[in-house]
């Protein structure tokens, strides 16, 4: 393996990994060489992983790339108690095949990739939305709830505590809410804060835009295939929208995972590890391992 730039794993390993280190300190033994995160993941027993049900996945198949290779993006939907009104809408939209034949319409560097009906604002051309979508109030962006977090991180630059719950990055004060890390998926909306149905979605492809937290609903995260979105050509129009229809990437279909064939199972590592190589860790830099299940 080439070592021209310190790999992430080597640097994270500069501090001892959580479970091993504490056990050895307690026993008064010399500490072994710390394991790299990839080694910790490889060594993790099966019980450390939680299966992700196919019914909690949203599978987006893009048009094949220039070489004819398929492009599949797998999104894990946000679990209860967060954003369930929008997640419910997304299930209905997928069931109605609303997105089949729509497109990726916006790619803004260091910000977001956005997809949906490119004609949504043209009443003569807009696709018909399913009739039973909920109008979810903005109060659902952050909620009152008692949640046992897997990890709590120090107060961050945004003046709030952050933590990890079932692999999801959250922040809290008297409320609790999911945060905009790389790969998180949110609901595009117009200016009134409750106008987002879920028909227009985006994912973060840059530094965490945490100023969007509690301003927009987060409904999932990309767990496989984000490179098919993050490497798309950037749009040259305002906000990174493509200026011509030809620049858009077509969406063949978006389905809930149990409607898709050939989809391997997925598993989340239950206890998201993290370490503090630099005196702390940004919630958006906490690795949350996900693996395919045979």
Q: Whole-angstrom Cα distance, residue 27 to residue 31?
A: 10
Largest CA distance in the chain: 73
Going by C-alpha positions, the residue among 138, 117, 141 that lies closest to residue 129 is: 117
Please tell me the count of residues contacting its own copies according to CB under 8 A.
Answer: 69
Q: Which is nearer to its own copies, 76 or 114 (CB)?
A: 114
Q: Stretches 42-50, 140-148, 244-252, 271-279: which one binds its own copies (CB under 8 A)?
A: 271-279
Q: Which is nearer to its own copies, 61 or 224 (CB)?
A: 224
Q: Stretches 22-30, 124-132, 143-151, 282-290: which one binds its own copies (CB under 8 A)?
A: 282-290
Question: Does residue 146 belong to the site contacting its own copies (CB under 8 A)?
Answer: no
What residues from 18 to 47 belong to the interface with its own copies (CB under 8 A)? none
Q: Which of 22, 227, 243, 292 binds its own copies (CB under 8 A)?
A: 227
Question: Does residue 153 belong to the site contacting its own copies (CB under 8 A)?
Answer: yes
Q: Which is nearer to its own copies, 23 or 126 (CB)?
A: 126
- Residue 186 CB neighbours (<10 A): 29
Question: Does residue 258 belong to the site contacting its own copies (CB under 8 A)?
Answer: no
207-to-108, 234, 262 alpha-carbon distances in Å: 12, 16, 33
Q: Which is nearer to its own copies, 75 or 216 (CB)?
A: 216
Least distance (Å) between residue 27 CB and its own copies = 28
Q: Which of 72, 151, 234, 270 binds its own copies (CB under 8 A)?
A: 234
Q: Stretches 44-52, 123-131, 214-222, 259-267: which one binds its own copies (CB under 8 A)?
A: 214-222
The answer to whether 164 and 151 are in contact (CB under 8 A) is yes
Q: What is the DSSP string of 230-290?
A: HTSPPP-SGGGB-SSGGGSEEEEEEEEGGG-SS--EEEEESS-----TTSS--GGGS---E
Handedness of CA 115, 116, 117, 120 (dihedral sign): negative
Q: Whole-angstrom Cα distance, residue 294 to residue 288?
A: 19
Q: Whole-angstrom Cα distance, residue 241 to residue 255?
A: 25
Least distance (Å) between residue 127 CB and its own copies = 14
What residues from 184 to 203 belong to the interface with its own copies (CB under 8 A)? 186, 188-191, 200, 202
Going by C-alpha positions, the residue among 189, 90, 178, 96 that lies closest to residue 134 is: 90
Least distance (Å) between residue 163 CB and its own copies = 12
Q: Which is nearer to its own copies, 136 or 208 (CB)?
A: 208
260-to-15, 161, 253, 277 alpha-carbon distances in Å: 41, 38, 10, 41
Question: Does residue 135 belong to the site contacting its own copies (CB under 8 A)?
Answer: no
Q: Which chain residues interact with its own copies by CB under 8 A?
A: 1-8, 11-12, 66, 106-107, 109-112, 114, 116, 120-121, 153-154, 156-160, 162, 181-183, 186, 188-191, 200, 202, 206-216, 226-227, 230-234, 238-239, 241, 277-285
């Amino acid at each position: 393996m080439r070592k021209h730039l310190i790999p992430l794993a080597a640097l994270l390993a500069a501090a001892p990994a959580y479970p091993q280190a504490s056990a050895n300190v307690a026993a008064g033994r010399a500490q072994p060489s710390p394991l790299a995160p990839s080694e910790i993941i490889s060594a993790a027993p099966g019980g450390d992983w939680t299966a992700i049900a196919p019914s909690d996945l949203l599978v987006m198949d893009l048009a094949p790339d220039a070489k004819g290779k398929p492009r599949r993006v797998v999104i894990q939907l946000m679990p209860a108690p967060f954003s369930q009104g929008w997640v419910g809408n997304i299930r209905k939209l997928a069931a109605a095949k609303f997105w089949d034949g729509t497109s990726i319409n916006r790619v803004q560097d260091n910000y977001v990739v956005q997809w949906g009906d490119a004609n949504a604002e043209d009443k003569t051309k807009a696709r018909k939305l399913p009739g039973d979508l909920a109008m979810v109030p903005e109060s659902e962006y952050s909620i009152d709830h008692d949640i046992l977090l897997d990890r709590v991180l120090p107060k961050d630059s945004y003046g709030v505590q952050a933590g990890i719950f079932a692999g999801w990055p959250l922040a809290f004060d008297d409320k609790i809410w999911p945060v905009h890390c790389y790969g998180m998926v949110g609901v595009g909306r117009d200016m009134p804060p409750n106008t987002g149905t879920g028909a227009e979605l985006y994912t973060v492809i840059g530094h965490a835009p945490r100023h969007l937290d509690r301003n927009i609903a987060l409904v999932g995260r990309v767990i496989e295939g984000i490179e098919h979105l993050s490497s798309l050509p950037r749009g040259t129009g305002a906000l990174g929208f493509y200026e011509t229809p030809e620049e858009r990437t077509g969406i063949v279909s978006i389905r809930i995972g149990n409607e898709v064939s050939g989809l391997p199972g997925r598993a989340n590592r239950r206890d998201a590890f993290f370490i503090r190589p630099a005196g702390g860790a940004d919630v958006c830099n906490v690795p949350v391992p996900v693996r395919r299940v045979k």
